[in-house]
Amino acid sequence: MINSLSQSTDNTFMTYINKFNPEAGFNTEERCHINELLNTSEQAECSIAQATVAPGVTTQLHAVKDTIERYVILKGRGQVYINHKAAENVLPGDTVIIPAGIAQKIANTGTEELVFLCICTPRFEQKNYLKLE
């Protein structure tokens, strides 16, 4: 949700500021908690969400059609599975690139929440989500 909008006097430059709202987050069938940071039709080229996976939880195997995903690990530790390959360990600062339509899931292997940004291009749309389990 866009919380504020400013525009220059010559109408050529707009700045959108999304204020983080933890109450706007929601739990998904995929077994994670999502907080959409940016996902609007006005910014269709990209979306950004904060995902949180609880300790000991593995997300549902899925793919996202026509959408490239990038995970930026912020907190915790996990294992990511891409295209049915062996798990790769991920830690804060790691970036994971998931091509469009490729099977994926992530497991929280630590004792604290696994938190990461999910950056999608073009923006994530539920109609492109493919449940694989």
Domain annotation covers residue 44? yes
Per-residue pLDDT tens for 76-133?
999 999 998 888 999 999 999 999 999 999 999 999 999 999 999 999 999 999 999 8
Q: Could you give the number of structural domains in the chain? A: 1
> pTM value?
0.86
Distance CA 71, CA 116 (A): 6
Q: What is the pLDDT of residue 2?
A: 46
Closest CA to 110 of 93, 91, 131: 91
Per-residue pLDDT tens for 37-79?
999 998 899 999 999 999 999 999 999 999 999 999 999 999 9
One DSSP character per residue, 66-116 reads T-EEEEEEEES-EEEEETTPPPEEE-TT-EEEE-TT--EEEEE-SSS-EEE
Domain annotation covers residue 126? yes
Is residue 10 over pLDDT 90? no
Residue 12 confidence class, pLDDT cut points 50, 70, 90: low
Question: What is the domain extent for residue 120?
Answer: 21-131
Domain annotation covers residue 5? no
Domain annotation covers residue 2? no
**CATH code for the domain in which residue 41 is found:** 2.60.120.10
Domain annotation covers residue 11? no
State the greatest distance between any 2 C-alpha atoms of the chain, in Å, as a whole number. 54
Domain annotation covers residue 73? yes
Q: What is the pLDDT of residue 1?
A: 44
